[in-house]
Amino acid sequence: MVALTARLLPRSLPSGATVRASWTLRQHAPLITRRGVVAAASYPGNRSYQTATASAASPEPASPSPIEPGVAPSPTSEPIALKPSRRERIKEAKPFSDFLTDNFHRQHDYLRISVTERCNLRCLYCMPEEGVPLSPAREQLTTPEIVMLSSLFVSQGVTKIRLTGGEPTVRRDIVPLMQQIGALRPHGLREICLTTNGLSLHRKLDAMVEAGLTGINLSLDTLDPWQFQLMTRRAGFSAVQKSIDRIFEMNHNGAGIKFKINCVVMRGLNDREILPFVELTREKDVEVRFIEYMPFDGNKWNEGKMFSYQEMLGRIRAEHPDFHRIEGHKNDTSKTFQVPGFVGKVGFITSMTHNFCGTCNRLRITSDGNLKVCLFGNAEVSLRDIIRRVNDGEPIDEETFMSMKQAALAKLEHRPDDLAGHMIAPNNSEELLEVIGMAVKRKKEKHADLGDLEHMKNRPMILIDSKSHASPYRATAYRTTSSSRLEARSSLSSTFSSSTRLPFIHAAMSDFSTSHQHPRLSFSTTSRPGVPSGKHKDTDASKAATSSPPIPDQPNKLTHVSAQGEAHMVSIADKAPTHRVATAKCTVVFSNPSTIRLIRENQMKKGDVLGVARIAGIMAAKKAADIIPLCHPIAITKVSVQLETCTHNNLLDEEDGNGNDSAHGSVEVTATVECDGKTGVEMEALMAASASALTVYDMCKAVDKGMVVQGLRVVLKEGGRSGRWVEGGKG
């Protein structure tokens, strides 16, 4: 095999001649030149990169025989499949998915998937010292679910998938999972990467490379074994060193793993090790990346601990004056530098001082199946709940997955063996894409600045990449309903149908177990540890609220009007974030005595009036800033909409022509909105109440044309400098 990887076929082969080689050579990515010269280059994802470096004494199978130098290939050997020409690739190219393109034209072709929330270290900047509460196993994505979601994203143009955690190597089936994701390479996936602490990597690395691993980011913040134990609160430096040595050894033998070491620099803790890390790049082909210390829940953020990019750069240039920047990829998160003459490179991830949001192409799926479009964002959308609907809300295990495969194959009339060439899509791919598209379109142009980031509520680092379980960290879970799907279709101007990018089993799976479909989905805007989404009780704001000082006298002045009399948005930059609550009410009064009965018996032709109105109110609360021109966009943490039917109602003091009271029942709407922010949520509460009432009106207008919507007002407000206020003026 040494001969196979080191020698070239004779240059005398005629142009255009069919080049043939053994099975072993075909497995090592043949490189074919215009003159017919072939060189075998081993790369990750082959049967074994080690075959490229096997001893020449190790015999190959008698048939087929290896190619000998100077000898024409055997005519009985199998031909090597040539790569399509550039012209052919351009001709067959598909437009990038609109679902993964945001409003700033950023195309998201890089997906990070957290495969576990567990970790065998307790790094200072990543996990709170006391650890994090682990989610029940059923709330975590299963391997089939991860594979199906990976298939969906690859079908839309994702070319790189990174498996993260927690610590991904602690997942028992990490290698089989990687193998199944690796099967997506014929459909456009180019890179399978891993982010790891390296503690147990050396035990699984060979199998991972065989499965298709192409890149490793290894987190290491110190080269001192004692300091390692201090920063990780665990022993194990020698195991990490063993993993690093094994990576270098495999690359020396041709594995071709892209290797990076990530180092979070903290002032007074490990900033003195910047130069020793740079020294690693002198003779080793590795990129050491220094990361600015970032604020996350539980990592005891202190701006004084942050060692900035400019300070790091200055320290390195004091030792290496010719340290210079080199060109990198447009989507790189790091600024790449090199010391002349050094083999490796040095990078800087400057999330705090110089954001790279303008070229961001990354999406994240947490271990509990939530999609995060920004590392520092707190809005999340659940993909897990949608994908499990086919299984009655239960996790999709291997047995269920195989049943889905068989059902799909039966519909497509394929043999089971044919399945290997297909990606397996979720049965509700179009719905998932709509939800993904909505989330991507909501992605902001850039994340908050340093001054705001340190005050924002976010998951601990261990639960983000999930470096994730259902958490209270201001995560907004957008559950899809028929209403939200209509919203998605209207908001997304897709340039092509989703089915045009799904070259795999799609519609065939939609008929699988239709009895598993949920008749109704819960709609919730918060997710809490240990509480299934949509099943926790709404908080009664009036009971939970505590007394606050009375509102001080304010001058009679319109805050949204400038001194020149022009409308403007009020600055909230100097306000402190606090927990804020607002409750609004209104009433829909009916003139037809049968209306209230039809609502209660759910006999309206348009369906469940109260259920649809509740969803409409929740959606409207999230759209307040899009409709009210001077309303600040805020991160809502909870919306509760209650609709109560009343048979007897004397709100209208009018009589019809027969002297009867014209009010024949009503629906009272109460909407409560909460947030942790710098401004109140009165407008969001009013939007929720009014939208719910208008939805009731719309669904009942065919029966009752004399309805009246009245009494829209705020009845409770608390939080901020004005304290607590309730209707009637009593705090």
- The CA radius of gyration of the chain, in Å to the nearest whole number, is 30
* Nearest by Cα to 173 from 146, 195, 148, 154: 146
Question: Which residues of the chain have a pLDDT value below 70?
Answer: 1-83, 89-94, 129-130, 295-303, 355-356, 376-378, 412-425, 447-569, 573-574, 648-663, 729-731
Element (H, E) at 692: helix 682-700
pLDDT of residue 300: 54
Helix ranges, 470-623 (H) = 482-491, 541-544, 593-600, 609-621
Three-class SS of residue 392?
A: coil
Q: Specify whether 449 is catalytic.
A: no
Beta-carbon contacts of residue 446 (< 8 Å; ≥ 6 apart): 355, 357, 358
pLDDT value for 68: 40
Please state, rounded to an integer, the average pLDDT across all residues of the chain: 74
The whole-number pLDDT of residue 198 equals 96
Residue with token string 């598209």: 437
- Residues 3-38: tens digit of each pLDDT: 333 333 333 333 333 333 333 333 333 332 332 333
Exposed, middle or buried, 29 (CB in 10 Å: 0-12/13-18/19+)? middle
Length reported for the chain = 731
pTM of the model: 0.56
Pairing between β-strand 345-349 and β-strand 334-338 as defined by DSSP bridges = antiparallel
Prior bond of 64 cis (ω within 30°): yes
Quote the CA–CA distance of 382 and 390 in Å, as a whole number: 15
Q: What pLDDT, on a 0 to 100 scale, did the predictor assign at position 527?
A: 37
Q: Is 437 within 8 Å of 286 (Cβ atoms)?
A: no
CB atoms within 10 A of CB 254: 19
| DSSP states of 77-112 | SPBPPPPPPHHHHHHH--PPPGGGB-TT--B--EEE
Q: What is the DSSP letter of 15?
A: T
Catalytic-role residue among 297, 392, 698, 704? 698
**Residues 512, 459: Cα–Cα separation, whole Å:** 36
| Runs of H (alpha helix) within 322-397 | 384-387
160 strand-pairing partners: 110, 191
